Amino acid sequence: MEWNDTGIVIAKGLFKEADLWLRILFREHGLATAFAFGGARSRRRFVGCLDVMNLIAVRVKQPRENAYLGLEEAQLLRGPRRLREDPKRAGLAANCLKFLDALGLPEGAASEGFALADEMLARLELPEPPDFLFPYSFRLRLAGLLGYAPDFETCASCGQTVSGPAVFYPRDGRVLCPACAGRRREAGIGLSPAGLDVLAIVQQNYPLSWPADDLPAAERRKLAQAIDGFVEFYLGYTWDRGRFSRALRRGPSEGDASSCSFKT
Ligand SMILES: [Zn+2]
């Protein structure tokens, strides 16, 4: 079986002496590992286009069902420029791509996941660098593709549309209006109407349409805290020393989580 697709190189490594393995996010075929046989030596077939973060057009061959995917041909469509020169931007992109690789994508969400990664890389090429909330926004958007999308616009207790500030409870994945939050013992994260708007917009749009970072720094830190808590609790991943490690899911009444590191 052979097919053509467009892909973003997420990771790569040497396999045996002359071959490369690649993690590629394909626009139509989703996240997959493919091998470029002879790719470490052949300059002709792959013309130096198999670098991480490159957008490539590929022809892929799968000899039989469940066999390895082999890259037959690849052509560079777009490579990062600012990203290669700016370690900070490259770090943000790597963080997002590692998260995507660690969590994977459900079947049927390939094109949305591809658009998210593609626009993430495109956003990082713009002259104005994004602020620290950017990778958190990426995680929130990806969580939505995986089926975890908290409603930031409705109080989960009384059902009223939230028109002012509200309180977010990461472990519940929901917001409560101040009146309902006042009846709970547990403390949540207080968010302003502007902050809630940012979360709702991020959830429904791709990175090039995310709002500019015009919230006060303290408010942005709260958004990051809200997303982090939510992602850790529901998806079980936390960023730790340069990689995402998987903490075992905690129930509200359980004690400390044991964790195991996740191989990337
Ligand atoms: Zn309420």
What are the extents of the domains in the chain? 2-79, 131-260
**Structure confidence at residue 196 (pLDDT):** 95
- Fold for domain 131-260? de novo design (two linked rop proteins) (1.20.1440)
What letter represents residue 164's amino acid? Answer: G
Q: How far is the CA of 53 from the centre of ligand 1 (A)?
A: 44
Q: How far is the CA of 235 from the centre of ligand 1 (A)?
A: 26
Q: Would the CA dihedral through 96, 100, 102, 103 be positive or negative? A: positive
**Structure confidence at residue 264 (pLDDT):** 29
Q: How far is the CA of 16 from the centre of ligand 1 (A)?
A: 59
Residue 241, classed as helix, strand or coil, is coil
Strand partners of residue 78: 55
Q: How far is the CA of 181 from the centre of ligand 1 (A)?
A: 7
Domain range 2-79, CATH class: mainly beta
**Structure confidence at residue 110 (pLDDT):** 95
Per-residue pLDDT of 201-231, as tens digits, reads 999 999 999 988 789 999 999 999 999 988 8
Q: Pull the structure tokens for residue 54.
A: 């490159």
Confidence of residue 245 (pLDDT cuts 50, 70, 90): confident
More confident residue, 109 or 241: 109
User: CA 153 to CA 166: how far, in whole Å?
Assistant: 9
Per-residue pLDDT of 21-49, as tens digits, reads 999 999 999 999 999 987 777 666 776 78
Q: How far is the CA of 189 from the centre of ligand 1 (A)?
A: 15
Residues 6+ apart with CB under 8 A from 235: 103, 143, 146, 148
**Structure confidence at residue 233 (pLDDT):** 82
User: CA 115 to CA 8: how far, in whole Å?
Assistant: 10
Please state whether 133 falls in left (phi above 0), alpha (psi between -120 and 50) or beta.
alpha
Please determine, for residue 242, whether its predicted confidence score (pLDDT) is greater than 80.
Answer: no
Q: How far is the CA of 178 from the centre of ligand 1 (A)?
A: 7
Q: Pull the structure tokens for residue 35.
A: 């091998």
User: CA 139 to CA 203: how far, in whole Å?
Assistant: 10
pTM above 0.95, yes or no: no
Q: Where are the alpha helices (DSSP H) in the chain?
A: 43-46, 82-85, 87-103, 110-123, 134-145, 178-181, 193-204, 217-235
What letter represents residue 258's amino acid? Answer: S
User: CA 18 to CA 40: how far, in whole Å?
Assistant: 5
Q: How far is the CA of 248 from the centre of ligand 1 (A)?
A: 31
**Structure confidence at residue 247 (pLDDT):** 60
User: CA 20 to CA 67: how far, in whole Å?
Assistant: 16
User: CA 30 to CA 106: how far, in whole Å?
Assistant: 8
Mean pLDDT (whole number) for 178-191: 94
Count of beta carbons in the 10 Å neighbourhood of residue 130: 19
Q: How far is the CA of 224 from the centre of ligand 1 (A)?
A: 23
